[in-house]
A and B are shown apart, each in its own frame.
Chain A
Amino acid sequence: MSSFQIWNKEMKIQAQIITITILTTLFISCSTNTPYATSIPKQKFRRCTSQEAAFQIDNLLNDAPTQMGWWGIKVQYVNTGEVIYERNATKMFSPASNVKLFTTAAALCLLGPEYRYETDFVTNGTIENGILKGDLIIRGSGDPTWDERFHTDKYDSIMVHFVDLLKAQGITRINGDIIGDDNIFDDIPLGDGWMWDDERDSSSAQLSGLSFRRNYIDYKLTPNYSNIGSPVIIESSPQTSYVNLRNDLTTVSGETDSDWSYGRNRETNDHWFEGSYSTQAGVKERFLTIHNPTLFTVHVLKEHLMERGILVDGNPMDADDLADSINYKQTKILFTFVSNPMSDIVIKTNHPSQNFIAETLVKTMDKEFGGEGSSKEGMKVQMALFDSLGIDIENLYLRDGSGLSRYDLVSPNNIASLLQVMWNHEYHSYYVDSFPIAGVIGTIQKRMLGSSAVGNVHAKSGNMTNVSCLSGYAWTESDEPIIFSIMANNYMIGNSKVKPIQDKIAIILSDME
């Protein structure tokens, strides 16, 4: 399907919602009719002034039904600080993933764009004739980058790399265990206030000082077209015996409706798929989180070692299960794995809105500033930073790094002042580069298509039940940078109908003279 077709469908849906407001807007700013609101071709609009932009935004929201919920907006010029538009700008909103604007700003300011995670692979034994007489210990650094997004497009390439590094030491056999040490962070696996029924979802992947592949597994489901009644083919990436997969998903004919579910039993690694899966459903992808990322990581490493000819006599172990703590003064470093720099990590946090990395950054900030890698303390470290940067933290309530928590509350003013501070910050370009770009990349790749916002609006989205936000930077036709924060809470109309209104606002700003 071409992107045009996708665009066309979305536009139709949204057109129904905002027809009235659009008509008003069109009368004001445009002499020709455009069929779809957000796709207003550039040439059909004359450039509007800031007052006209404010008027248009106001119109969008004034006639809105109450089902649209609560909206808070702040729009201002970056260079002068002049406010173009505001509505409920001091009120508190649930920000969802707009929290990552704060988390990644703090990570850049406090850890720096050149910050890299360094993970030591050590042993308490000696290498004799290619045999490691002792345990292989991975001293986790919290590195969130051990996945295909950072290391080519192969799921297992990082593990292959580790195996190769061990082979380079001449190791052919490990007499001991493969021990994972996650003590760089505390052992709290989830964020404050996260939902119990989301735990299986990739957005709620567990946090750990030692993690592999964002701590979830990809499943590709393919109906068994030639054998109706037989199990659906389920391919997992990575392939590992760490999870116990129960496949009770049966292929049914295309005339039958699909009726299936999947999940992970909590506190276990029992994954299951069950029900009937219609051939019409085609190939689908699903994700399930794993329990105990530390053990997962060393388990998968052992599998890779064995597969690649390094015999392991021992077992994968979580350092928490050892009787004695590891004395690192008695160990020897085999090699140290150094991650990509923070400048890359913040991109991979903000572009896809990756909760797992965002939360890891919070724990890292606590660890690096003297704490025990706790989220709670990491938030305090951030608050101290924001305070020093002149952001009003009196009314800033951040409880996690990703925004999944219902306890987070921020105002459009809070976000605008953060974006203002970061605009003037020495790491400004790293920050802005990490944002999704309308029509181009990240979570807003398919939004604002065919408009002046494409390639122009750099903004972080934030969406969960009853919450939809979009905040970032836009540039006017004359290249004047603008900060905007749009927050919507407690609506009944669904995210798919709220987003087009936000897009419309971002387009209005991009259309300014």
Chain B
Amino acid sequence: MNINSRIILISIIAIVLINCSTNTPSSTSVPKQKVFRNAQQEAAYKIDALLNSAPVEMGWWGVKVQYANTDEVIYERNAARMFVPASNMKMYTTAAALCLLGPQYRYETDFVTNGTIDKGVLNGDLIIRGSGDPTWSRRFYDENYDSVMVRFVDSLKAKEITRINGDIIGDDNVFDDVPLGDGWSWGYEHHWYAAQISGLSYSENIIDFTLTPDVNNIGSPVNIEFHPQTTYLNLRNDLITARNKTTGGWTHGRIRETNNGWFEGEYSISSGTQEEDLSIHNPTLFTVFELKEHLIDKGIGVVGEPVDIDDLSDPIDYEQTKTLFTYISHPMSTIIKGVNRRSINFIAEQVHKTLGKEFGVEGSAKEGGKVQIALFDSLRMDTRNLRIRDGSGLSHQNLVSPNNTTSLLEMMWDHPYRSYYLESFSLGGVSGATRKRFRRTSAEGNVRTKTGTIAKVRTLSGYTWTQSGEPIIFSILVNHHVVPNSQIERIQDQIVVILSDME
């Protein structure tokens, strides 16, 4: 306990001794007759009681709460200490994206050729010069997996191209070739949340599957549907439909450094239809592979092959190429919603590398981190206590303090792009990761947060408003708990409700 909270606690105890003659059975329910000097003091007392009653299994807690308009601190505990932030890291990444790239920033991807169009035949290669655009997925196109590819095909058709004599080349050199974040676990790799990072990406570099048991044929394979439909991934389906209450269980995965995926085991008919996913290997090749399939599907003949630029013997000389069309993404204001509401690591990492590309030396995570630190430093944040190793927070090597996060939120509160920033967060009980939290409380439809979860880490930071509409900034960081996340969440939510209940 630091000195400040010790002082607060001592004064609280004194006040309690003066004002309260009865024992409270449960520390978190404060009897009405207790008199506090103000709402702020009461909230601090309640939060303190809540945390004091938390057993050691609840791990390390760092809390900072302050008014947004006056900076006045309402409560703090271990506020200067360092915590692994998990996806609260995205609050930093998206703040930097807004400040530096701006809400109107759009990715621009050139589709170029080194050949000429003669009578509808493209005599040369079609080259996609990747911009790092993370939006070529269903998320940005009304849940339609194919939509963006169809647009590309239509744009080529508008040029009256009916046949491509060359290859479909993907250029991902806008970013470095490091596919995963610093210190990510090797066991994550086949999951959507560790999708590969690339200068050229499609479908967030994952494939979704719908598994449907063959209820009429026990013992036959489960039906596995691909979204998007593709032959890029070779899937071994040894997932067998089984009767209810089988104990076999099932697993799925992808052999690393390959696109060989598998499902195997026994799938109970009582499981019904389920969604699963696998990340793919080499997003660049995946994207051009998919484009070729769509081209052929829509009647444009392709003589050549999908090719990753890294496999070309000579670099492409873009002074000798001609732009066929340029594809422009949604604005950053929309992109950061994708990052923050559903906590999509892939988009966060792409944005992070984009910061490195646009403001640093190269499109690498390391440069992205340097750019962020330089920005926050210039905004007078205490960057000595800030370690940014990736853009998403999946790395266990990131470190922030509650003080850092509240000063970030404070800074963004005063920023011209405040509304874009706040809009990108989940709304309690309504949208994003907290759509099912805070229901039927004063925080419902009120609190704007970013959650964070990795092993032994559970975090929640954001903005809420008191009953009188006063905005409050809070950061609640928990590390090294050994109880289920739901128990940590309950206390975090209680703190937020205490704040939202304030006058």
- A residues touching B (Cβ–Cβ < 8 Å)? 66-67, 69-70, 90-94, 190, 192-199, 265-268, 395, 397, 406-407, 409, 411, 465-466, 489-492
Most central of B83, B189, B480 by chain A CB within 10 Å = B480
Stretch in B36-44, B54-62, B88-96, B299-307 with 4+ CB within 8 Å of A: B54-62
- B residues touching A (Cβ–Cβ < 8 Å)? 56-57, 59-60, 80-84, 180, 182-189, 255-258, 384-385, 387, 396-397, 399, 401, 455-456, 479-482
Selected from A91, A199, A268, A466, the residue in CB contact (under 8 A) with B397 is A466
Whether B385 pairs with A407 at a CB distance below 8 angstroms is: no
Whether A395 pairs with B456 at a CB distance below 8 angstroms is: no
Whether A93 pairs with B480 at a CB distance below 8 angstroms is: yes
Beyond A193-B187, A267-B255, A466-B396, 12 extra complex contacts between A and B, CB < 8 Å: A66-B385, A67-B384, A69-B82, A91-B60, A190-B186, A193-B185, A193-B455, A196-B180, A196-B186, A490-B479, A492-B384, A492-B385
Closest residue of chain B to A265 (Cβ to Cβ) is B257
Residues of chain B within 8 A of A265, CB atoms compared = 257
Closest residue of chain A to B82 (Cβ to Cβ) is A490
Whether A69 pairs with B455 at a CB distance below 8 angstroms is: no
Residues of chain B within 8 A of A91, CB atoms compared = 56, 59-60, 480
Given contacts A197-B182, A406-B455, contact A66 B480 (CB under 8 A): no
Residues of chain B within 8 A of A70, CB atoms compared = 60, 81-82
Task: Name the distance in Å between A113's Cβ and chain B's nearest Cβ.
Answer: 33
Task: Name the distance in Å between B402's Cβ and chain A's nearest Cβ.
Answer: 11
Whether A407 pairs with B456 at a CB distance below 8 angstroms is: yes
Whether A196 pairs with B189 at a CB distance below 8 angstroms is: yes
Residues of chain B within 8 A of A67, CB atoms compared = 82, 384-385
Given contacts A92-B480, A490-B82, contact A196 B387 (CB under 8 A): no
Whether A195 pairs with B184 at a CB distance below 8 angstroms is: yes
Residues of chain A within 8 A of B482, CB atoms compared = 92, 395, 397, 409
Closest residue of chain A to B397 (Cβ to Cβ) is A465
Residues of chain A within 8 A of B480, CB atoms compared = 91-94, 409, 489
The CA of A411 and the CA of B57, in the complex, are separated in Å by 11
Given contacts A395-B57, A490-B479, contact A199 B84 (CB under 8 A): no
Selected from B183, B187, B384, the residue in CB contact (under 8 A) with A192 is B187
The CA of A35 and the CA of B415, in the complex, are separated in Å by 50
The CA of A466 and the CA of B398, in the complex, are separated in Å by 9
The CA of A266 and the CA of B59, in the complex, are separated in Å by 36
The CA of A406 and the CA of B57, in the complex, are separated in Å by 17
Task: Name the distance in Å between B395's Cβ and chain A's nearest Cβ.
Answer: 9
The CA of A508 and the CA of B396, in the complex, are separated in Å by 33
Whether A490 pairs with B84 at a CB distance below 8 angstroms is: yes
Whether A69 pairs with B256 at a CB distance below 8 angstroms is: no
The CA of A322 and the CA of B411, in the complex, are separated in Å by 63
Can you list 13 A-B contacts (CB < 8 A)?
A: A66-B82, A66-B385, A66-B401, A91-B59, A92-B456, A94-B480, A195-B185, A199-B186, A265-B257, A267-B257, A267-B258, A489-B480, A490-B82
Whether A69 pairs with B81 at a CB distance below 8 angstroms is: yes
The CA of A407 and the CA of B401, in the complex, are separated in Å by 21
Residues of chain B within 8 A of A409, CB atoms compared = 456, 480, 482
Task: Name the distance in Å between A392's Cβ and chain B's nearest Cβ.
Answer: 11
Most central of B84, B185, B188 by chain A CB within 10 Å = B185
The CA of A267 and the CA of B254, in the complex, are separated in Å by 13
Task: Name the distance in Å between A415's Cβ and chain B's nearest Cβ.
Answer: 15
The CA of A201 and the CA of B363, in the complex, are separated in Å by 25
The CA of A170 and the CA of B401, in the complex, are separated in Å by 69
Residues of chain A within 8 A of B187, CB atoms compared = 192-194
Task: Name the distance in Å between A499's Cβ and chain B's nearest Cβ.
Answer: 18
The CA of A495 and the CA of B56, in the complex, are separated in Å by 26
**Interface SS of chain A:** loop
The CA of A70 and the CA of B81, in the complex, are separated in Å by 8
The CA of A193 and the CA of B394, in the complex, are separated in Å by 12
Task: Name the distance in Å between A16's Cβ and chain B's nearest Cβ.
Answer: 16
- Top-3 shortest CB links A-B: A66-B80, A490-B82, A267-B257
Most central of A66, A67, A70 by chain B CB within 10 Å = A66
Task: Name the distance in Å between B191's Cβ and chain A's nearest Cβ.
Answer: 12
Selected from B83, B180, B183, B258, the residue in CB contact (under 8 A) with A465 is B183
Whether A194 pairs with B186 at a CB distance below 8 angstroms is: yes
Whether A490 pairs with B256 at a CB distance below 8 angstroms is: no
Whether B455 pairs with A266 at a CB distance below 8 angstroms is: no
Task: Name the distance in Å between A396's Cβ and chain B's nearest Cβ.
Answer: 9
Task: Name the distance in Å between A88's Cβ and chain B's nearest Cβ.
Answer: 9
The CA of A66 and the CA of B481, in the complex, are separated in Å by 20
Residues of chain B within 8 A of A489, CB atoms compared = 480
The CA of A479 and the CA of B184, in the complex, are separated in Å by 46
Residues of chain A within 8 A of B80, CB atoms compared = 66
The CA of A395 and the CA of B57, in the complex, are separated in Å by 7
Whether A90 pairs with B401 at a CB distance below 8 angstroms is: no
Closest residue of chain B to A467 (Cβ to Cβ) is B396
Task: Name the distance in Å between A345's Cβ and chain B's nearest Cβ.
Answer: 26
Task: Name the distance in Å between B459's Cβ and chain A's nearest Cβ.
Answer: 13
Task: Name the distance in Å between A265's Cβ and chain B's nearest Cβ.
Answer: 8
Task: Name the distance in Å between B148's Cβ and chain A's nearest Cβ.
Answer: 29
The CA of A492 and the CA of B389, in the complex, are separated in Å by 13
Closest residue of chain B to A90 (Cβ to Cβ) is B56
Given contacts A67-B385, A490-B82, contact A195 B455 (CB under 8 A): no
Selected from B60, B189, B258, B456, the residue in CB contact (under 8 A) with A406 is B456
Given contacts A267-B257, A409-B456, contact A491 B82 (CB under 8 A): yes
Task: Name the distance in Å between A70's Cβ and chain B's nearest Cβ.
Answer: 6
The CA of A492 and the CA of B182, in the complex, are separated in Å by 17
Residues of chain B within 8 A of A192, CB atoms compared = 187
Residues of chain B within 8 A of A90, CB atoms compared = 56
Residues of chain A within 8 A of B186, CB atoms compared = 190, 194-196, 199
Most central of B184, B188, B258, B455 by chain A CB within 10 Å = B455
Whether A266 pairs with B256 at a CB distance below 8 angstroms is: yes
The CA of A406 and the CA of B60, in the complex, are separated in Å by 16
Given contacts A70-B81, A91-B60, A196-B185, contact A267 B385 (CB under 8 A): no
Task: Name the distance in Å between B224's Cβ and chain A's nearest Cβ.
Answer: 25
Residues of chain B within 8 A of A193, CB atoms compared = 185, 187, 455
Closest residue of chain A to B179 (Cβ to Cβ) is A196
The CA of A152 and the CA of B83, in the complex, are separated in Å by 46
Task: Name the distance in Å between A433's Cβ and chain B's nearest Cβ.
Answer: 32
Residues of chain B within 8 A of A66, CB atoms compared = 80-82, 385, 401
Residues of chain B within 8 A of A491, CB atoms compared = 82
Residues of chain B within 8 A of A490, CB atoms compared = 81-84, 399, 479
Residues of chain A within 8 A of B188, CB atoms compared = 196
Residues of chain A within 8 A of B59, CB atoms compared = 91-92
The CA of A91 and the CA of B482, in the complex, are separated in Å by 10
Residues of chain A within 8 A of B180, CB atoms compared = 196-197
